[in-house]
Amino acid sequence: MSAPIKREYDRTSFILVVDDDNTLLKFFKIHLNKFFSKVIVVQNGKEAMDTIKEKQIDLVISDVRMPKVDGGELLAKVRTYDPLIPVLLISGATLTDEQQKACQDADGFLAKPFGVDDLNDFINRGMRRRELLVKLGSFITKKKDVREVALGKGELKKSIAKGADASEAAKIVEELRNAG
């Protein structure tokens, strides 16, 4: 068994948790407040998008199955609004094919029930991804191109800002791809 990962979070980061289960929201709020001073919990996708438009959110954790706007729809809306925000999806339910695809497109997926260590590792990966996406974004002209480049669907050479260090940007892309 490996040693536990030391958690060194930026306490100023905004974490948004979206779930229609009040008990789970309370758990997230209590647990995440140990590491982050800015944890926001909401019960649906509309509240989530309103919050994202009001605050500089660094990470979204969302249930997949929710009424009205599910986690997959929220993922698409977040990516359109700000492609640098990682979206991590969670679910304990049987998912439709469309919801399974959303989980594959997300920055991470965690099945319920999960342990605290699994949650912490999940968040670590999401926060590291945020850090790398923001770094990569500083090299790329259009924010919307960052994910395409990170996923290998867009060309770094065509997207890089004038005067930016292409070799440094390429290192960040490689790290993002290796991080999963």
Q: How far apart are CA 164 and CA 6, in angstroms?
A: 33
Q: Which of 35, 29, 33 is nearest to 10 (CA)?
A: 35
Q: What is the pLDDT of residue 1?
A: 43
Domain that holds residue 60: 14-128
Helix orientation angle between 116-137 and 22-32, rounded to the nearest 10 degrees: 70
pLDDT per residue as tens digits for the range 5-18: 455 556 678 899 99
148 in the same domain as 123:
no
7 within a domain of the structure (yes/no): no
146 within a domain of the structure (yes/no): yes
2 within a domain of the structure (yes/no): no
44 in the same domain as 103:
yes
Pair 92, 111: CB distance under 8 Å: yes
> Which stretch of DSSP H or E encloses residue 15?
strand 14-18
Measured in whole angstroms, how far is the alpha carbon of residue 101 from the centre of its chain? Answer: 16
SS (H, E, C) 31-48: HHCCCCCEEEEECCHHHH
168 within a domain of the structure (yes/no): yes
CATH of the domain at 87: 3.40.50.2300
20 in the same domain as 57:
yes
113 in the same domain as 37:
yes
115 in the same domain as 86:
yes
Helix orientation angle between 97-105 and 71-81, rounded to the nearest 10 degrees: 40
Q: What's the whole-number mean pLDDT along residues 118-146?
A: 92
Q: What is the pLDDT of residue 171?
A: 95
Rounded to two decimals, what is the model's pTM?
0.88
Which amino acid, residue 128?
R
117 in the same domain as 78:
yes
| Total domains present in the chain | 2
Position 153 confidence tier, pLDDT thresholds 50, 70, 90: confident
Tally of CB atoms within 10 A around 118: 12
Position 179 confidence tier, pLDDT thresholds 50, 70, 90: confident
111 in the same domain as 23:
yes
Q: What is the pLDDT of residue 178?
A: 86
Q: Which of 63, 126, 65 is nearest to 98 (CA)?
A: 65
133 within a domain of the structure (yes/no): no
143 in the same domain as 122:
no
pLDDT per residue as tens digits for the range 36-91: 778 999 999 999 999 999 999 999 999 998 888 889 999 999 999 999 999 999 99
Q: How far apart are CA 90 and CA 174, in angstroms?
A: 26
91 in the same domain as 28:
yes
- Alpha-carbon distance values, 71 to 47, 81, 168 (Å): 13, 15, 34
67 within a domain of the structure (yes/no): yes
Backbone angles phi, psi at 96, to 5 degrees: -70, 170
Judge whether residue 3 has pLDDT over 90: no
154 in the same domain as 105:
no
91 in the same domain as 144:
no
Pair 52, 82: CB distance under 8 Å: yes
73 in the same domain as 148:
no
Q: What is the pLDDT of residue 2?
A: 45
CA R_g for the chain? 16
Pair 146, 140: CB distance under 8 Å: yes
Q: What is the pLDDT of residue 12?
A: 72
